[in-house]
Structure 1
Amino acid sequence: MDESNAIKLSIIVPCYKVEAYLPKCLDSLVNQTLSDIEVICINDGSPDRCIDILREYEANYPGKVIVIDKQNEGVWKGRWDGIAIARGEYIGFLDSDDYAAPTFAESLYSAAKSNDADIAICGFDRIDLETGKVLSREMASERPSFVIDDDPGRLVELNGAPWNKCFRASVLKHMRNLTNPPTVLDDLAFHLLVYCDMHGKVVYVPGSYVRYMVRAGSIINSVKKSQVDSIRAAFIEIRRQYETARPELLPMLDAVAFLHLGVSLVFRLSSTPGENVGKDISEITGYLDAEFPTWRRSPYINAAYAFPRGGALLKLLVVQKVYKLHLMQAFLAIYSFMIEKIHVDIKW
C-alpha cells in the first residue's frame, strides 16, 4: 500500500436523535487540518432527520464521510460496527452532539505516530450548551507519557470517555467483547477491554481540542437502580478476562473499579430521589470486597504512589480514606451541595 494515500485516522461518530447538533459536529470533522482521515457515522435507527443529514454529507464528501445506516442496537454495537470497517492506522471517536477543534485529528495522530503510541489523549472543554460558557477545561496541561507495562497505575487517571483519544487500530480490531455490555458506564467498560490488550505507550497532547457540550440538568446524572445489576455483571466479566489474560493488571483494574463504582456510581445513585444511599454504599462496598478485593490495599491508592503523581490519584487516595472511615454518605452530601449550590465540581 502507498502510505502517502493511506488513511491515517478513522473517526467514529455514533448518531441517535441529534439532528440539531449533527451538522456542527460534521462540519468540524470534514474541515480538519489532517486531510487523510475518514469519518464513519453510525445512524443507530435514529427516528429524526439524522440519516438525511448524513447522506447529504456523504454525497458532498465522498470517501471521507462513510455512513452506516442500521436498526437501533445501541452505541456499544454501533462502535464495534464502525471499528470493523475502519481503514485508519489509528481510530478515534467523537460524540455527535459535540464538535472538535480544526487540529483535533492532526494533533492526536501526530502525537501517536511520532511516539509509536497505543493511545494519544488530548484535553477538552466542557461547555454549557445554552450559554456557550466554558464550565471547565480538563486534561489540557502537560503530562508525562508512560508505558502501560511499566506503570499500569497511570491508567487509573485516564478519563473514561473515548472522544478525546485515538487508539492503535490493530488493537481495537482484535479486542475482546462482552456478552452483556452495560447501558451505563459503557465507555469505561470499552476502555478496560482496550487496556487488557495493550502493552505500549500512552501519550498526552497538551491543549484542548474537543468541545464537550453539557445540556441543562446534566451536571448530575442519576442512574436507575435497575441498571446497577448489568453494570456489576459486566465488570465481573471484565475482571474474569483480566484474570486469564492480564493478571498483572488486576491491581489497576480494582483501583478503577473503586473509583468508578465505589465513588462515581454511588454518587449517581445518591442523586436519585428516594434512594437509600447508606444501603447503596454498603452493597457496593460488599461487591467491591468480593469481586475487586485489592481496592483496599491497592499499590496505586497509597501516599507513596499518589503524591508524586498528584491529580486523580491523589483525589482517589483521599476518598478511599473517607470510605474506610465510613464517612462516604456525608462526603456525597457535601459533594452534591458543591455542585448544585455553588457550581463547583471535583473532576475524578
Structure 2
Amino acid sequence: MPRFSIILPCFKVQGFLRECLDSVLGQCYRDIEVIAVNDCSPDGCGAILDAYAARDSRLRVLHLEENVGLGRARNAGMPHATGDYLFFLDSDDTLTPGALRAMADRLEETGDPDVLVFDYARTYWWGGTRRNVLAHILAETQDGSGDGTFTAAERPEILDLLMVVWNKVYRRDFVEREGFTFPPGYYEDTPWTFPVMLTAGRIATLDRICLNYRQRRQGNILSTTSRKHFDIHEQYARVFAYVDAHPSLARWRPYLHAKMGEHCLDILAKPDRLPPSDKAEFFRRTAEMFRAHRPEGTPVPDGLRVLERGYAGWVLWRQSGRARRELGRRAQRARAAAGARLGRARSAVGPRRPLDPHLVVYSAFSHRGVLGDPAAIYHKAREIAPHLRGVWVLRDEEQAELAERTGLLPPGTDHVILGSASYRRVVGRAAFFVNNVNWPGTLHKRPGSVHIHTHQGTPLKYMGADLLGKPGARLGVDVPQMLRRADRWDYSLVANRHSERVWERAYPCHFTSLRTGSPRNDVLVGAGPDAGREVRARLGVPDGHTVVLYAPTRRDYRRGGLVERLDPARFARDLGAGHTLIVRLHPSLASGPARGLGLSELHRRGIVIDATDEPHVEEVMLASDVLVTDYSALMFDYANLDRPLVVHADDWGAFAASRGAYFDITAEAPGPVTRSYDELVRLFASGAWRDEEAARARAAFRERFCEYDDGRAAERVVRTLMLGEPMTGPAGVPRARRVPAADRDQPASL
C-alpha cells in the first residue's frame, strides 16, 4: 500500500502537464501512486499521460468518455486509490523538490492526522514567485504542544488559509468514513474543504512550500466573466446542509454565514467576474441567502451590513470606498485612453467603414518580403481564391527596393510601406492578417478581423514566456510586450503536437491551435531526388556532386550570437572530391562579422557556396543531399525530404543552459550525432551518415515532427480560414480547438 495516492485530473493542460508529472515522479520519495484522470481532454493530455504510464508503473491513467468537470473527475479517481493519504493535485501546478518526503516525515511525526496542511507559493508567468502571505499560521500551529495536532475549534485561524483542496493531504480512511465527495460546479472546493476541516479530529501543519501554484497570465477559470459564478450560492447551500446534518457543527454557523457573505461580495466587487447585467441579480440572491442562513441572535459584521441595504446601497458604498483611489488613477487612465485613441487613429481610417472580406494583409520576417509560410499561403490563395486581394507590408522604401532586386518581392506584387497612409488604409479595412512575426503594437485589431500566426517552424529552443527564465537569451526582448501583441492572434498554425503544446505554453494568450501543417513545407513533401536540379545548376553545383548543406544557428551565450563551431574551408576540403559544401547562416547573422571573417571570400574562391542570401530556404534544402546542423529549426522542415540529417552538437550543454531547450536533440536526433569536428569528418568518410540506423532515426523523427505536413497545408489554411469551408486534414488530425482564456479549473460542462 503506497503512502500517497496522488489524483491528477487533466483537461486542456498539455503545455504544463509534463512539468507537473516530472515534478511528481521525480521526487526522491517514491512510495506513491499517481491516478491521472483524462477528463476527455481534446488536446494531447491523453497521449502524454499514456506515454508516461508506459515508462513508470506508479502512474495509472483513466480516460473518461465525456467531460465531467474537475470535481467529478477527482471523484472518478478516488475509488482507484489505495494509498494511506489522498492528494488532489492540479495538473498545471508542480511539487517542489523534496515535498513528498517532507510531508511523509511530518505525517509520521504527528501520528497520521486526518489532514495535513502545507504551504505553497504562487509562481507567475513572468518568472516571479510569492509565498503565501499567511504562512505564519502554519509556523504557529506547527510549533504547538502535544502531538502537534489540533482541531479547527482549537485553532480556528487555520480556516483563514486559502480554502482549496490542493494545499492539503487527507487520510483516505477518514475521507471514506465520512463519505466526502466533490460536487459538480465552478466552486467545487468550497463544499469539500469546509466540511473536511470542520469534521477532522486531528489536523497537522507543515511550514514548508511544497507546491508551486501556477498563476496563468489570463487568470484561472474563476477569474473569467460568466454567469457561472452564481454557482457559489449552491455550493454554500451544500455547506449549510452539511452543518444541518451534523448538529455538533452548529457552532460554526456564524462563521460560515459571515464567510459566505464575504466570499460572494468579493466576487461581486471584482469588475471582471460578472456581466454588468447580472450583478444586481447576484446581489439579490446573495442577500436572500444571507438572510435565510443568518443564525438567530447573531449580529451582522460591519462589512456585511451592506447586504441589508439593497443593490443600490451597495453600489454607493463601493463608490465611496473607492473614490479616493479612483481620483488618483484618473489622470493615468486619461493618458492611456488618449494613447489608445491615437493608436486607433493611426491604425484605421474611418472606423465606421466595414471590413473588406476579400482583403488579406501579409507580412513575413519583420516586413522583409514574400517569404516563408505567409508566402505559401499567399500563392495558394492567388491560385484557388483569386478574388482575394493580397497586400504585403514592407518595412521601408529601401527594403522594398532590396526585395525587388533579390526576388523577395516578385513583379506586380501589391504592397504598402509600414506606417504610410496606404498602410493605414489597408490594415483598417482588411479582414485577414497573416504573419510569422507579431504585428506592430500600434495596429488595432478590429472586431471581426482574423489574425493568422504561422510561426517560423517547430521550436527546439525556448520561446515567448519561457524566455523569462533565460536572461541572456531574452536580452533586448520585451516579453510582456510580445505577449500583448500575441493577444491579437486568432489562429496559431502547427505542424505537430509538440509545437501545439509549446506555443500554448510559451504564448499564454487567446487563440485556436490549428493543425494544418506548415504551409512553407508543402513544396518539400513528396519532393523527389531531382526536385532541386534547377537550383543546383543556378548555384553552380557540379553534376554528380553530393551536396552537404551546413546550417548553424546563433548562440545566446556569446554577444552577437556568432560562435564558429567549425572551419568551412577545412570541412569542404575534408569532405573530399565529389562533394560541394553549401553554408547558410542564421538570418540574424547574415549581416554580421561571419561573412566578413571569411565566408564571402570562400564563396568568391569557389571553395564553398554561401547561400545565406538565397531568398527561399526551401529551394536550398531541395538542392542538397544531406543537412548538417547544430540546433537549427531547419532540421524539422528538412525531415520532410526524407534525406539524411546530421546533428553536430559539440556545445549542446552550453547552448541548452543559455537558451533553454524543450527536449534533448542529442537523445532524440533525426540521425547521427557528432560531438567533435574529427567525429564529424569520420562520419562522412565512413558513410554512416546514410546507413540503416540513420534512416531509422530519421523515420521516427519524421513521424513525430512532420505529423501534419501532407503537402496541403497552405490550401487548408485558405479554404478553412478565408473561404469558410469545413476543416479537413491528414488522417487522424482533429478539427481546430479553442484555447480558453483560462482552464485551470474547468466547470462540469463546457
TM over 0.5: yes
Deviations 1:23-77 (A, max 9, x none): 0000000011222111111101111111111111111111x11111112111111
CA contact (8 A) 2:94 2:213 kept: yes
The CA distance in 1 between the partners of 2:306 and 2:122, in whole Å, is 28
Aligned to 1:329: 318
Bigger relative contact order (CA 8 A; separation at least 6): 1
- Change in 2 beyond 3 A, CA 1:26/1:226: closer
**Are positions 1:162 and 2:165 aligned together?**
yes
- When residues 195 and 273 of structure 1 are mapped into structure 2, their CA distance, relative to the original with a 3 A threshold, is same
**In the alignment, what sits opposite 1:216?**
217
- 2:115 corresponds in structure 1 to 119
Structure 1 residue identity aligned to 2:276: G
The answer as to 2:47 corresponding to 1:68 is: no
Change in Cα spacing, 1:271 to 1:74, as seen in structure 2 (3 Å) is closer
Q: Which amino acid aligns with 1:127?
A: T
**What's the counterpart of residue 192 of structure 2?**
190
- Whether the 8 Å CA contact 1:17–1:48 is kept in 2: the answer is yes
Provide the rounded CA distance (Å) in 2 between the counterparts of 1:226 and 1:86: 31
Can you give the 5+ residue segments of structure 1 that lack an aligned partner in the other structure?
Answer: 1-5, 302-317, 342-348
Shift of 1:210: 1.0
How far apart, CA to CA, are the structure 2 residues paired with 1:335 and 1:59?
A: 59
- Are the counterparts in 2 of residues 126 and 212 from structure 1 also a CA contact under 8 Å? yes
CA drift at 1:97: 0.9
1:140/1:208 contact within 8 Å kept: no
Q: Aligned residue pairs: how many?
A: 311
Distance 1:25 1:330 in 2: 43
Supply the distance in 1 between the matched residues of 2:241 and 2:201 (Cα, whole angstroms): 19
2:30 to 25, 32, 35: 35
Q: CA deviation at 1:293?
A: 3.5
SS in 1 for 2:15: coil
For 2:104, the aligned partner's letter is Y
Counterpart of 2:59 in structure 1: which amino acid?
V
Q: Give the C-alpha shift of residue 110 in structure 1.
A: 2.3
Task: Give the AA of the match of 1:161.
Answer: V
Shift of 1:20: 0.9
Q: Does structure 1 residue 88 correspond to structure 2 residue 90? A: no
What CA deviation, in whole Å up to 9, does each residue of 1:178-222 have, x standing for no partner?
Answer: 7x935222112221232354222x222113221111111318814
TM, length-normalised to structure 2: 0.38
1:41–1:53 CA distance, 2 compared to 1 (3 A): same
Partner of 2:261: 258
> Aligned partners of 1:210, 1:295: CA distance in 2, in Å?
42
Tell me the percent identity: 22
Conserved? CA contact 1:257–1:292, under 8 Å: no
Can you list the C-alpha shifts for 1:127-185, whole angstroms capped at 9, x where unaligned? 222x222255444331315622643633531312222211111122234467x935222
Q: Give distance in 1, aligned partners of 2:25 and 2:297.
A: 44
3-state SS of paired residue (1:147): coil
Note closer, same or farther for the CA distance 1:108–1:319 as it changes in structure 2 (3 Å cut).
Answer: farther
Summarize deviations over 1:275-334 as a string: whole Å, max 9, x none.
Answer: 465664454233212124379648xx7xxxxxxxxxxxxxxxx84588789665248858
The answer on 1:286 being equivalent to 2:281 is no
Do residues 21 (structure 1) and 22 (structure 2) align?
no
Name the CA shift for 1:177/1:234 in 2 (closer, same or farther; >3 Å).
farther
Give, as a single letter, the amino acid of the residue that structure 2 aligns with 1:83. Answer: M
**Does the 8 Å contact 1:254/1:295 carry over to 2?**
no
Match of 2:3 among 4, 8, 13: 8
Residues 238-257 of structure 1: pairs in structure 2 closer than 5 A: 238-245=239-246, 246-257=249-260
More helix by share: 1
| Aligned-residue offset at 1:227 | 4.3
Q: Return the alpha-carbon distance in structure 2 between the equivalents of residues 75 and 190 of structure 1.
A: 13
The residue number in structure 1 matching 2:235 is 234
Note the C-alpha offset of 1:100: 0.9
Give the aligned residue type for 2:177.
H
Preserved contact between residue 190 and residue 236 of structure 2 (Cα < 8 Å): no
Question: Is the contact made by 2:191 and 2:238 (CA closer than 8 Å) also made in structure 1?
Answer: no
Taking the aligned partners of 1:248 and 1:221, their CA distance within structure 2 comes to: 32
Q: Distance in 2 between matches of 1:239 and 1:331?
A: 33
- Residue 144 of structure 1, aligned match among 105, 116, 141: 141
1:50 matched residue in structure 2: 45
Relative to structure 1, the CA distance from residue 210 to residue 66 in structure 2 (aligned partners, 3 Å threshold; closer, same or farther) is same
Equivalent residues of 1:254, 1:294 under 8 A apart: no
Q: 1:305 is matched with which residue?
A: none
Q: Aligned Cα RMSD in Å?
A: 3.4
What's the TM-score once normalised by structure 1's chain length? 0.77
> CA, structure 1 residues 323+289, in 2 after alignment: closer, same or farther (shift >3 Å)?
closer
* Structure 1 residues 221-269: Cα deviation after superposition (integer angstroms, max 9, x where no partner): 14523541x43233223312211213343334324323323x3332346
Please state whether the residue corresponding to 1:293 is helix, strand or coil: coil
Aligned with 1:46: secondary structure?
Answer: coil
Which one-letter code corresponds to 1:257 in the other structure? M
CA distance in 1, matches of 2:70, 2:117: 21
One-letter code aligned to 1:29: V
Mean alpha-carbon deviation: is it higher for 89-98 or for 281-290? 281-290
Distance 1:52 1:166 in 2: 28
One-letter identity of the residue aligned with 1:76: G
Conservation of the 8 A alpha-carbon contact between 1:251 and 1:294: no
Q: Answer with 279-288 or 155-164: which moved more.
A: 279-288
Matching residue's letter, 1:165: K
Structure 2 unaligned residues grouped into runs of 5+: 143-148, 333-750
Q: Judge conservation of contact 1:267–1:332 (CA < 8 Å) in 2.
A: no
Amino acid at match of 2:76: D
Match of 1:308 in 2: none
Q: 1:223/1:256 Cα in 2 relative to 1: closer, same or farther (>3 Å)?
A: farther
